[in-house]
A and B are shown apart, each in its own frame.
Chain A
Amino acid sequence: MPSVASKQYPDDVSLLVLLLDTNPFFWSTTSITFSQFLSHVLAFLNAVLGLNQLNQVVVIATGYSSCEYIYDSSLTSNHGSFERDRTGMPPLFASLLNKLEDFVTKDEELSREEGNEDRTPSCLLSGSLSMALCYIQRVFRSGHLHPQPRILCLQGSPDGPEQYVAVMNSIFSAQRLMVPIDSCYIGVQNSAFLQQASYITGGVHHTPKQLDGLFQYLTTIFATDLHSRGFVQLPKPIGVDFRASCFCHKKTIDMGYICSVCLSIFCEHHKKCSTCGSVFGQSKLDESSSVSDKKKKASQT
């Protein structure tokens, strides 16, 4: 799989697309509050914009029942001005916070509309990842001179196994576009989606141990532009979780049955494939093992 270091970057101007987890079901369970978390993130975004005048930041909120663009630094013309409004906030982030507040209220309303039963407290990573890639694709279309894009997922919610196919599709598209997906996971379980995303696209995956030092983790690891990554020792992955989701119950599994026609994954033996309609014969475990025996015999002779 291609690594970041193997590519040639002409400059160190970055476009950072930040996918911000705003899932209310996650933020009601954490040790730090959402506003504490936001203050770390805003300081980090400021740092990224300060590193290079041409750097660009786009923030997409990843909610529980919707996703939305909430900030694009290329649209705010008063990039350098330090005028503060009544709240004492730089105008740059005032618009971000306003939009974010609107989004979170709307998202909460939407999630209340849905039934309460059988709720996985996951956020819509597949949606925000798809939007980020569309945005980056537009930047690539704009001509030869564009910042080097990368995606950073800042997430704490657990994976939503029902998003498996969509998330994997996004990861492969990012890989083809050579856009690395960095991920910073602040939740309790580990995230197989984010680990695979970073591993496949050559991004960095990290799980900070102490959330009150989040700003430091963000600046030391995720502020590094792609050009500089060749010279910096970034954290190496502590293994990659390659578990998949079954198509029948949307469960995360590490062992399962694969349809030989369409490669759908199932957690238990079925008589018929629900995806392609093939009817399966008897379990041919004996046959496949006898084949491997034959192979072994052949290789010995």
Chain B
Amino acid sequence: MITVTINGTKITFVKPVTILEAARAAGIDIPTLCHHDALKPYGGCRLCLVEIEKVPRLQTSCSQQVSDGMVVRTETEKVVEARRAVLEFLLINHPLDCSHCDKAGECELQDLAVKYGPATGRFAESKRKYPENFEDPLIVRNRERCILCSRCVRMCDDVQGASALCVANRGSKAYVEPFSGGRYDCEYCGNCLSVCPVGAITSRLHRHGYRPWLMEREVATVCSYCGVGCSLVLQVRNNSVVRSVPGTDPGFNKGILCARGRFGYDCVNNGDKLSVPLMRRDGELEPVTWEEAITHIAHRLEEIKRDNGSDAVAGIISGRCTNEDAYVFQKFLRGAIGTNNIDSVAGLAYGPAQRFFERIFGQGVTANYVHGISNSDGIFVIGGDPTAVNPVLGLQIRSAHKKGVPVIVIGYPGGLKRFSKHTFITSSPAETVLLAALVSEVRQMKSFPGERPAFDEIISGLQPVPLKSAAEVGRFGLNELIDMANTLSNMTNPSIIIGRDIVQTSTGHMNLLFLAALAYLLNGKVYLLSELPNEQGLLDMGCQPDMLPSGRPLAIESFRKRCEETLGIVLPSTPGLDYAEMIEAAHVGKIKALYVMGEDAALSLPDTNYVRDALRNIEFLVVQDRFLTETARHADVVLPALSWAEKEGTYTNLERRIQLTRKAVEGEGIEEWKIISEISKILGLDTGYRDVTDVFAEITRISHIYREVTHDHIAGGKCMWPYGGGPLRHDAHIEGVDLPDIISVMKNSEAGGVHVRREAHLFHSQNASRFSPALQSISPEPYVKMSEILADRLSIRSGDYVKVSTEAGSITLAAYRDPCLPENIVLIPPFEKGGIFEVTKWKVNPLINVPVLDGSRATIGE
């Protein structure tokens, strides 16, 4: 027990805390500047000085810990005097340009100067002068205003882990800058902006447009860029989003955002957004009224259904739609059209992966807390760079690494380069061989947990693969591989983090089996990276060709019947087509009508040409979207939709946490679920929803997993799986899992050539980032990354243009040399133009029904 007396009040602590924390606990305010709750104590600004009895000099309360019997005074004459002097020093060089500083009104220095500062300074010397730096597209740096508290540098180093900033030079000539001195070229999380107490680093997006006291509204909502689902607050003025800042409560991102959440909000205000429905007349898309458009759609769908049967109609939905939109969409296709032809982007990787793990371990096995990652004793990452796909989740890995937790990365490490001692990059068949070898290795070191005897049997039946073979096939050093395998075998509760690149391959089904085996043998928790905010929600809502809401198989008649009774509709019983099958069916003219909700199919699937042909082949294409996307350009009718900031709804993130998205501004479109309801009504199915809460109420009646959920529950931020009920883990259904033929994979992987692999991109997140000028400005140009050896052989320098050709097509891209890549791998991110999908041939892995990205060998030239 530690008892301290602060300003005469006695207060007792069990564990040591700083004087500042103690004072706060006692309700006493001590001014601070360099201190920030998210950062470690620094003791640099000297503003928080306090007097301690028996200690001759004033001490910084933010860094000094309390000890038993300590007597502290925070407001003595000496303290007040020192505080005033510190502020006077800080203001020697700080310009007094509050009138046009974006920080005015929420500037800590301004507030402190008003509260404690001297009325005038005594320094007659002229102030330090530096021009403001506008070299960066997003961040303006003003060195004159900087008070060198180093909060930004510590944020970037210790929390973000990007380490893109430094204090350059020293003494009075010191200032903060990124390496280049101009452009930041960093991760653009903007977390440095959040912690800067003054206006030294500000966002260009709202330059001279943000005044805290002029904000009309602050709306707490969820980010709509990825499946992490960070809390954020949209600040609104004149019906436009002026700024997005991280939410602190009840958010689990705790004041942190990534670039997309921070700067991507400008897609809401983008002037190119659609405001009226468009219909194709004489080959051109022309504006029409809502009524015309909706009647026309209903009429055409009716016709096609009559002439070609219900199964000639299909629907695809985007992972950016809310649960309510998704639920109504599948109900419409099933109930009003009579088809199970419904799927989404979640069907391309996230869904099949989840389905595989749930089959073995039971429903909800991937519903693990993001925060759990940094508490595990090992991290195994495969199939995508989490710091690019799900950036705020990625930070958990970085912080675990800092605590000494071993991190293994299979695949391009991207933002984990400095955070893993074990990285293995190779072709995708060689990855499968590596996984097979790791399972063999771990099996020798660990005994079976015995929980699932059927799975024990499968694992026992796997062909053993020696590490040596994996090293040969993958061109790895054997010693490094042995070292990694030992590290892996020593883990007792690892986080196994899986991205889509391991699923979208010809051997994706084997990879999933090996990963399940590793998770089982190592007692691991499985996390599935999710590129879109509501992939999980789409699955839960039944936007799958063979599943009804809450992941109940269509084939289970009792559940189907119960749904039919509750809803008073008839559900088609034969499974529909999945996303890949729809594209193939469209190609051969089997799909006559396709309803696409918010998804840019033309640009999110491999083999752009093939997909474009399929879309062209569709007799009647309806696209509901915020912008005239590539897919919308092929449509017969385009309906303007609303962005997530313009409507109410719910998202379910990759932890299966349900969160509310709230309306911040009025949009010009109509809510997706409402449009669908209108069409549905004409087709004879009146949904009867008055508002979004009616839809949600129906979801909770239909879905046994959402049954206990209420809006209050969600608003509290703790709506975590399994929601109200008990755990739903049921026994595994692992009959029919084929034992992989690893020998033929090994043979196949020996073929030479250059493999093209996908690089997940932090600033390019499918269709939303394309309409965010801010995100586009960071890294607008498509590129290919290659090894130094390959580049040397072809005499390519970074920045040169090279042609990458495969059997699917060829594109010319800027080349970048990356020393961490092996010779036979090049990386291309999924840019809209010049992206990887233009050089991947259409091919589907029939065992998990996903279009794959491997299999094409590239030639690099010119």
Is the A/B pair a real complex? no
Q: Which B residues fall within an 8 A CB radius of A? A: none
Q: Which A residues fall within an 8 A CB radius of B? A: none
